[in-house]
Structure formats: C-alpha cells, structure tokens
Amino acid sequence: LPNVTYRYGGELRNASTIEVKTYNRLERKDIYNVIGIMKGEIEPDRYIAIGNHRDSWTLGSVDPTSGTATLLEITRVFGQMYKNDFRPRRSLMFCSWDAEEYGLIGSVEYVQEYVKVLGARIVSYLNVDLAVQGKIFIKNSND
C-alpha cells in the first residue's frame, strides 16, 4: 500500500524490501443471532443479558465452546427453575451471537437495530465467552 510504513523483525529486519500479496474473497452471508427472553415479574421492562458467540476460526474448544456450554447450562437451569414457578425480578435475555470472529457483527447489528430500547432497559450484560481456558484446575476453598 502506498504511504504505509511496515515494521518487521527477525530475519526480515535487514531485508531491504518485502512483498506481501493477499488473496481475499468477499462473500455476503446470512448470520443468525438466537435470542431467548424470560419475562421478569417485578421489572419486566428491565433486562439482564447473558451472552456468548458461537462461531470460531478454529475447532473452538475454548473459544467459543466453553462459553457456549456455559450459556446453554445457565439457560437450562433457569428454564428448569421457571418450570418450578421461579420468576426473575427483571427479564433475562439469553443471547447466542453469530459472526463474532468477523468483527462482532452479530451482536453489533443487534444492538444497532434496538439501540434505543436496549440503551434504556439493559441493566447489565454478562459475557460468558472463554468460560474456561488453560490446563490448570483451581479449586476454591469454599467448594
């Protein structure tokens, strides 16, 4: 690119020139966000959102699958509690975002579409992406 300075290191540091070629294919694809809402009993117009993306560049065992498993389990537990007559104070939003790896497209498009409502009503957002990572297991003394 003209008028762009590149910095590089290693064996390339002393090279006088470097040529970079990129081959991109632009495609238009549909994406799908999945949103579930459990209506609150006392403040139904106020939302607690819990979310995670489900797309991945690689096999995704940590990112996003650990967060997806966490989101699904949270949703399952709240669903079971709901069957047993539990009603949350505020409405709960369970958000499964698509196209996060492509620049947060799924969540950004959703927020842009509903910005006024969400801005006025969302109390908090809990992102459960990367719920676990690494090979070390740490047990809390209270467990």
Strand locations in 54-121 (E): 90-97
Catalytic residue status for 100: yes
Helix (H) / strand (E) element for 92: namely strand 90-97
Q: Which amino acid is residue 24, in one-letter code?
A: N
Question: Domains (ranges, CATH) in the chain?
Answer: 28-127 (3.40.630.10)
Summarize pLDDT for 9-30 with one digit per residue, the tens.
Answer: 777 677 667 677 888 888 899 9
Q: 31-53: per-residue pLDDT in tens?
A: 999 999 999 999 999 999 999 99
Strand 90-97 and strand 34-38: the pairing is antiparallel
Q: Examine residue 64 and say whether the peptide bond preceding it is cis (omega within 30 degrees of 0).
A: yes
When comparing pLDDT for 2 and 120, which is higher? 120
pLDDT in tens, 74-101: 999 999 999 999 999 999 999 999 999 8
State the catalytic residue, choosing from 100, 101, 109, 113: 100
Handedness of CA 7, 13, 17, 19 (dihedral sign): negative
Reported pTM: 0.77
